[in-house]
Amino acid sequence: MPDNARADLEDWLRLLLTPGVGPVMGRRLLERFGTPTAALAASPDEWRALGLSDDVALALAESRSAERSAENAARQMAALARSGGRAITLADDDYPALLREIHGAPLLLFVKGDWAESLAQPCIAVVGSRACSTYGRNAAAKLARDLAAAGMTIVSGLARGIDAAAHEAALEAQGRTIAVLGAGLDDMYPKENAKLAERIAESGALATEFPFEKPPTPRNFPYRNRVIAGLCLGVLVVEAAERSGSLITARLALEQGREVFAVPGNITSGKSAGANRLIQDGAKLVMDWRDVAEEFSYELRRRLRQGQSPPTPAQRPLPLELTEDERALLALVGFDQPIHVDALAMQSGLGQSRVLAALLSLTLNGALRELPGKRYARVLR
């Protein structure tokens, strides 16, 4: 990195790390002074004229002069280099145009992976419940897979449940996906999705506004959600309870002038109450990826690879040549209602050992998914 670029990034980091200077106040300083360097060089009276408190003015003065501030910025740059990522500032050309439009856009984004290629396609967010149902997971996977195959980048939050299903389906379709994190690039949360994050970085991108050494805390996730919505043309909610972070993302999308979509769910399930309420309030009901695409401009729809409608699950070929035992069990397992191994043994009439062997094979070849409690469900392909 050239010395002048390094010094410029150090000042961006000093501003970012200054206590009391968040995205809104940071944007105000930049609009008034032009650059972080000039903002840090201003006088306390100039800062106060912008509405900064004495405490924030004191913090800014320390950020421009204190040795600790320089060390903190240098530590961030060293961590960024070790991670293989890079920082994109609000002034950079490859800062996302849609995100720049929102109120309180992040001053910096720390990104890793193929950022430019991921943003070259139109982005759609797919979000939902962490404790999702089999129906919700299948719906998220099907829609994300078809949207990714059509040429849209799937954006989500790397959380358990719907988020993970959306990311995985986009990767299966050999499409692009962006995971927006609620912590620094050095802290993948939840830990169980660390391997998924590695796969995303290889063919998509990871992004966060949080610096290194910033752990995931509950207050981080509403900020994370506004970035998810801000990157995208619209937000698709697959499953959400009445009080859900996904509903926050949908509300932020509406405030940002973006489209909101929702998948209808079981009216007796609390997991679907929030998504169903969104539809009542005017969100577009989605049953197929085309329901999403048709809300966008003609030019964007023309860019998407329309082709023929993806085949229904019943039409899609089985993944491999199956044995008679495997075919018998597959006929008993549904997509949305998991079935216990004992019920499969009873209904198929096969012995326990034959059932377990067939289930193992079907799980390994991707036809079935094993769920907690020795229950199984079909996988939408």
pLDDT in tens, 132-191: 988 999 999 999 999 999 999 999 999 999 999 999 999 999 999 999 999 999 999 999
Mean of pLDDT values over 231-236: 96
Q: Say which residue, 319 or 53, is predicted with more confidence.
A: 53
Rounded to 5°, the CA angle 39-44-46 comes to 60
Percent of the chain with pLDDT over 90: 63
Instruction: Answer whether residue 267 shows pLDDT above 60.
Output: yes
Place of tokens 């940002």: 256
The pLDDT of residue 343: 85
pLDDT digits (tens, 9 = 90+) for 336-370: 778 888 888 888 888 788 888 888 888 887 788 78
Instruction: Answer whether residue 244 shows pLDDT above 90.
Output: no
pTM of the complete model: 0.83
The pLDDT of residue 128: 94
Mean of pLDDT values over 8-35: 93
pLDDT digits (tens, 9 = 90+) for 85-102: 999 999 999 999 999 999
CB 104 within 8 A of CB 98: no
pLDDT digits (tens, 9 = 90+) for 269-311: 888 899 999 999 999 999 999 999 999 888 888 888 654 444 4
Q: What is the CATH number of domain 324-378?
A: 1.10.10.10
Task: State how far the alpha carbon of 255 is from the alpha carbons of 19, 259, 364, in Å.
Answer: 27, 10, 44
Structure tokens belonging to residue 278: 């969104």
* pLDDT band with cut points at 50, 70 and 90 for residue 371: confident
Contacts of 159 (CB under 8 A, 6+ apart): 130, 190, 193
Q: How far apart are CA 242 and CA 25, in angstroms?
A: 32
HEC-encoded secondary structure of 190-217: CHHHHHHHHHHHHHCEEEECCCCCCCCC
The pLDDT of residue 381: 63
Q: How far apart are CA 237 and CA 142, in angstroms?
A: 13
CB 77 within 8 A of CB 10: yes
CB 158 within 8 A of CB 188: yes
99-103, 263-267, 312-316: least confidently modelled range:
312-316
Instruction: Answer whether residue 317 shows pLDDT above 60.
Output: no
* Domain boundaries for CATH 1.10.150 within the chain: 3-83
pLDDT digits (tens, 9 = 90+) for 24-59: 999 999 999 999 999 999 999 999 899 889 999 999
* pLDDT band with cut points at 50, 70 and 90 for residue 6: low
CATH of 3-83, one of 1.10.40, 3.30.110, 1.10.287, 1.10.150: 1.10.150
Task: State how far the alpha carbon of 96 is from the alpha carbons of 8, 19, 61, 105, in Å.
Answer: 20, 25, 31, 10
The pLDDT of residue 307: 41
Q: What is the CATH number of domain 115-303?
A: 3.40.50.450
Instruction: Answer whether residue 318 shows pLDDT above 70.
Output: no
